[in-house]
Structures are given as structure tokens and as C-alpha cells.
A and B are shown apart, each in its own frame.
Chain A
Amino acid sequence: MAQVIIQGFLLSGLYALIAVGFTMIFSVGRVLNLAYGVYIMLGGYVYYVAVQILSLPKFPSFLLAGLAGIVFGVLTYLVLVKRFEKDPIAVEISTLILAVVMQAVIVLIFSTAPRSMWPLIPGRFEVFGVSILKNILFATAVSWVVLGSLMVFIHKTHIGRAIRAVSMDAKGAAVSGIDPQRINLVTWALSGVLGAIAGVFFATYTQLDPGMWVFPLITAVAVVIVGGIGSIIGSLIAAHIIGFMEVATTTWISADLRGVFTMALIIVVLVVAPKGLLGKAEL
């Protein structure tokens, strides 16, 4: 039992970290950025190249990965999203095409073979007989810090409040003097860097491969749906529901049904309670 609690908690932390970048875009821009998984993938690969091929130390490599996320996020916004501003479907499709192209680019550079990454913090220790990897503990800690900082940012800073305003009512925000374009730019950059950071952890935990953008994307979508649009706390709670559910299913029922329950949860929530847990917005 201690196992399920501890492992569930750790996995949920990782999932929350993955989802938070996605939450930002979905909540503010109301568009499905299907290329979100690519930020995760890029973060992982850039870190890998920096640390394991170029032998740079960890922290600068981490910053490089974050930078890659920012750059890519901003580019996605400037090139695709701005073009299709009025048409969310077009944004979804073009980001999907972008994601598929990026996967092929990664294959071109790195081939299809998956790579394992060295953990950010190697080693493990035991708590209540449960083996815990320091790496995932670090990831969970980082995700709480990031989420906490994000909450402070959104509620206390000027830009943060502007983002909230735009997410609730873009026109109204514009009227009150906020430039939605600038805010969107900031949000996409933020989403990019959050995705990249999550990507570094995710990749050190599993592995790097060109198809790795799909799973975090679906997970992020699940977390945001269940947690509700526009709510960071909702995402946190949802991440924990999903994380615990996966661990519980694996341990007590059957490890191969791990993904089915998450999908079923999305369907149930969307049909029964489309706003999610703490969603603030209508569809």
C-alpha cells in the first residue's frame, strides 16, 4: 500500500510537470497545440546532445534545453498560430503536421534507435521498503516548485494577471489596454520552456525516441480535460488522479490496462462533466 501511495505521488508529479505547459496554451489560447509534445521531445534531445555528446555540465545544458523550448514555442506561435488565428481547427491541423515533420527530422538526425539518458541525479534510496529513484523525486519536487511559482506568477505579477485576463476574455482584455498579441507570445514561450523542462525529466526517466511526443501529449490532454480549463490547481489534482490511477491499476489490477483507464476517464469527463473538475470556462 505504501508502494502505491509513494509511487503514485511521484508519477503524478512528473505528469503534472508535463501537463502544466499544455494547460497554459489550452487555457489562454483555447487551441489544441498538437505540437506540444515536440517541446518535450526537443528538450530531451537537446539536453542529451549537450550532456552526453558535447559533455557540457548539467545546468547549462538544462538552460539550453529550456532555450530550445522557448525558441520553438515562439516560432510555433509566430509562424502557425498567428496565421490561423481565427481558425482553431487550422491551428490543430498545422501543429499536427508540424509534429509529424519534427518526428521525421529527429529520425533523420538520430535514426530510429532509442537512447537512454543518464539521470539528472543518479542513485536511489529506500523509504518504507519502497525503492525510489532520486531522479523522479527531483522531478516531482521541481514540478511542485514550478507549479507554485506559476501560481504566484499568474496571480501576483502584472503579466500574469494580464494572461489571466486574456484567458477569460480576450476582447475585454484588449479593451482594458492589454495587448493580446504580446500576451500570447509570452504564453507560448512559457509553454515551450515548461515543455522542454518536463521533457528533460521525462526523457531521463524513460528514453529518447522519435515517437516520444505522442504519449506526453495525450497525458497532458487528459490532465487538462479532467482538471478543467483555466485551472492550474485543477491540473495538479487531475495529474494526481491519473497518476495514482495508473499505479493502482498496474499494481492491483493488471499492468496492461494502464492506459485504458485514462482514456475512459477522458471520455466520461467529457460526456458527463465537460468543464472538468475546476474548469472556469464553457466549451
Chain B
Amino acid sequence: MGTNRMTFFSIMATAAVFMAGVLCSPVTMAAKDPVVVGYIGSFDSDTGKSTIRGAEIAIEELNAAGGVLGGRQIKLVKADTREDVTEGIKAYEYLAETEKVDFIISGSIDDVSLSWLPRMAEYKIPTLDTWTSYVGIIDMVVNEYDKYKMYFMNVACDYALATLYVDFGKDILADKMGWKTTVVLQEDTAFGGGVFELVDQMLAPEAGIEIIDHIVYDTNTVDFSPIFSKAAESKPDFIYLISSVRSQVPSSQYVKLQVPVPMTGINVAAFGKDFWNDTGQMGGGTSTLSPIPSVGFAMDDRTKAFVEKYEAKYGNSRPIFPHFNGFNAYYGMYNAFNAAERAGGFAPLDAWVTEMENEDLKIYKDGKLWLRYGFWKPGEIEPRTNREYTHNIKFDITQPLDDGAPSMVVIQWYEDGSTAVVYPEKYATGEFGVPSWIK
């Protein structure tokens, strides 16, 4: 046939297919269209990369197993927020309007999540947050369920982290080490302030530890010696650090100055394996609470397999081991797609939300319930804090901690670079200790 006729026929054929597609009901799409998943978060940070990689591995597995929602392949598109709140909004708009994603997995940090939350409510795109732990967002879901119901957070919120940490204070710091007094060293951020409030309320009544001084420091502080001097002045049994921004500065200066008081608390920099090299091998003696799974965490078989895949694929570039949100991304993708299968896709929003609420991925190790990827349902009250945590991961913070994953574990870095989980007992792989220079 001549080219003109070819062109004519192909145009007609295309038009016919196009018309057919347009006339079809929007829910039933052509079987070969990919399902588009959007990633929102930073590209260059360890946090962001962990979520991206966790999601990528899950997508690979699902695609290899034949695809989802009737044999469709999953495609991942990414939008960089550069940890900037305004970029976060632009990134969400890009994913929603230009890429038209069906589902969004987020590795954003707290304030970036807060900035795109209104967009999520406007576009109504199912979104899973893997790193942000701000309980204020969960409160928004609880109080305005209909507006924010498409939001899920599969890391235990900071309220739950701090609550279980108080148990650590009681069981290890008070009962085992015999400590009674502490000075809180808190960074001047909303996170710091929020955690301090909780600690202030709970530490004394529940663990019997008294806060004898409270020092708030500017995150740009260059020189911590005056601050550590001030903290040591009142002779506390230990220092409780709350630091999420530039955490390496207080922790490395703590080691260099050989502050004569033990220090524990929250040190976000210590969550990842790269902490050792990043501190110039001087992070020993640091302990911190950490969401799970953390470094030093004993793993079940399925999680081990995930880590093996991760290390095989990404082991040469940082982060060499996934941060907790990488695991959250991996399992969270399964949650999201299982729910989508049962609901008939992401688009029937209420159906998807209900099915996501029904998700309950229980992971066992040695016969014990080890990890649990499920969510709190609307109206469910957590017994210990007497609160609702709608759409937060189903953590367990009531002893004996056998109804789900604990909201956090406490990890310890030793002076030889090794790590262990030291609390709760069920998950412990090592002992809590103080740095060698403290007598």
C-alpha cells in the first residue's frame, strides 16, 4: 500500500481506538496500562533513598509475579522535594496533575508532609507516609476523617515512640541502672518541643525519674561545651538528648569532650549504618530510640530476604542498609496493593480505604509475633494512652508487647562500631551500656 493510505488507515485505526477508550467506563481501563505509583520525598538524602529503594524492590517483586489489578505492571515516578516545604507542594502537584498517579508513597520529612497534606485532601490520592511521625497529622485524620482518610502512616507516631521510651526509662534506666535524675537537652524544633512535653508528663510518674533541668539549644549551635557544662553542673544521673536536626554535632562533641555523664535519648543521626563512618568512628557509647526495623534488629526470614535483595542491588551506595522507612516502604506497598486488589483499584476511594484499614500483615519469628503491618481503625482506642491513632501503624505499647510490633526499640552503638537492640527484652540482642570513659 502507498504511504498515504497507510497513514490514512493508521489515523483511522488510532481514532477508533481512541473513541473506544473514551467511550469506555473510566473504571475499566485497558489491561496494559501501567498502574502509576508516585514517590514524593527527597532524592538525595538517606531517608529519601531508603523509601525509594524499598518501594522499588516491592514493585520489582510484584511486577515479576505477573503484575497487579489484572496483570498490569507498576510504574514508579518520582518527584523531588529537596526537603523543602514549597518544593513539597510543587512535587505533589506534579505527581497529581502531570503524572496522574494512582497512589503516592512518601519519604517526606515531617514539615514537608504537613505542607502537601492539603493538596492530598484536595486531589484525594491514596498516600502512605513512611518516615513522618508527627502525631498532629494523625490527629487531623482522627478529627477530620472524611477529609484526610486517604492518608496512612506506617511508622509509629512520636507520641507512641515517646510513650514506650518511658518504659525503657523505667525498666533499664531506673530499675537496672538505678538512675533517678536527668537533664533534658532538647533541640529548638517542634519535634523537640513535642517530645519534651510527653517526656515531661510521663517520666516522673511512670519511671520515677525526675527532670532536674531542661536546656533548649539552637540547632545552629557550634560549641556544645557550655551546654554540656551546664548540664553536668546539676549532677544528673544521665542526660536525655532530643535531637533530630544536625544530631551528629552534639553526639560527636559529646564523645570528644568525654562528658562525664551518660547520655541517651533520641538521636536521629544514629538510626542508620552509615552513622559509624559519618562520625569518623566516634559514635560509640551513643544509644537512641529508633523506629523499627532498626540497625542491630534481629530479622525474620522475609525481612532478611528483603535486606539481601537491597544489599545486592544498592549495597555500594549509601545508605548501605535501609533505614526503617525503607522497610516501611516495602511492606507498605504490599499493604496498599493488597487493599487495591480487594477494592478493585485505588480509584474507588472509600473501598480502598476500608480495605487498607483491614490490612494486617503479621510477620512471625521463632513462633512469636515479630512485626505487624496493619493500621488502627477509626474509633479504635489504644488502651495505654487512651487515644485514637486512626491510620497509624498498629503498634503495641502495652506490656507484654505481644500484640503487634513495639512502636520503637532502643539501639546501642558500641565503641567498636557494632550495634545491638537493648530494649524491649523480647527484641534485645545486647546490653545497654555507658561509654568507657564514665566510671
A residues in contact (CB < 8 Å) with B: 3-4, 7, 10-11, 14, 52, 107-108, 111-119, 122, 124, 130-133, 135-136, 202, 205-207, 209, 215, 246-247, 250-251, 254-259
Contact = CB atoms under 8 A, between A and B. Distances in A.
Contacts of A118: 280, 282
Given A111-B318, A124-B256, A256-B217, A133 B246 contact: no
Interface string B19-56: 00000000000000000000000101110000000000
B252 A247 contact: no
Given A116-B248, A209-B246, A251-B230, A136 B223 contact: yes
B215 interface: yes
B388 interface: no
Contact of A11 (B223, B248, B282): B223
B396 interface: no
Contact of B230 (A131, A133, A250): A250
B246 A114 contact: yes
A207 B46 contact: no
B246 A207 contact: yes
Contacts of A115: 248, 277-278, 280
Contact of A259 (B83, B218, B253, B258): B218
Contact of A119 (B42, B229, B256): B256
Contact of B256 (A11, A52, A108, A135): A135
B218 A131 contact: no
Contacts of A130: 225, 229
B188 interface: yes
Contacts of A246: 223
14 contacts: A7-B223, A52-B280, A111-B45, A113-B274, A115-B278, A116-B278, A116-B279, A119-B256, A207-B249, A247-B223, A250-B227, A258-B217, A258-B220, A259-B218
B269 interface: yes
A116 B252 contact: yes
Interface of B: 42, 44-46, 83, 188, 215-218, 220-223, 225-230, 246, 248-249, 252-253, 256-259, 269, 274, 277-280, 282, 318
B280 A131 contact: no
Given A114-B269, A255-B217, A131 B258 contact: yes
A131 B223 contact: no
Nearest to B225: A7
A256 B219 CA distance: 8
Contacts of A14: 222-223
Contacts of A131: 225, 228-229, 257-259
Output the residue of A52, A111, A116, A124 with the most chain B CB within 10 A.
Answer: A116
Contacts of A255: 188, 215-218, 221, 226-227, 230
A117 B280 CA distance: 6
A11 B253 CA distance: 14
B278 A258 contact: no
A217 to B, nearest CB: 12
Given A254-B216, A256-B216, A259-B220, A247 B226 contact: yes
Given A118-B280, A250-B230, A255-B218, A207 B318 contact: no
Contact of A124 (B45, B216, B257, B269): B257
B229 A258 contact: no
B111 to A, nearest CB: 15
A248 to B, nearest CB: 9
Contacts of B253: 133
Q: 6 nearest interchain CB pairs?
A: A255-B217, A256-B188, A256-B216, A112-B45, A116-B279, A116-B252
Contacts of B223: 7, 10-11, 14, 136, 205, 246-247
B100 to A, nearest CB: 29
B225 A112 contact: no
A256 B218 CA distance: 4
Nearest to A3: B229
A258 B259 contact: no
B226 A250 contact: yes
Contact of B248 (A52, A114, A135, A257): A114
B226 A251 contact: yes
Contacts of B220: 215, 258-259
A133 to B, nearest CB: 6
A198 B358 CA distance: 58
Nearest to B223: A11
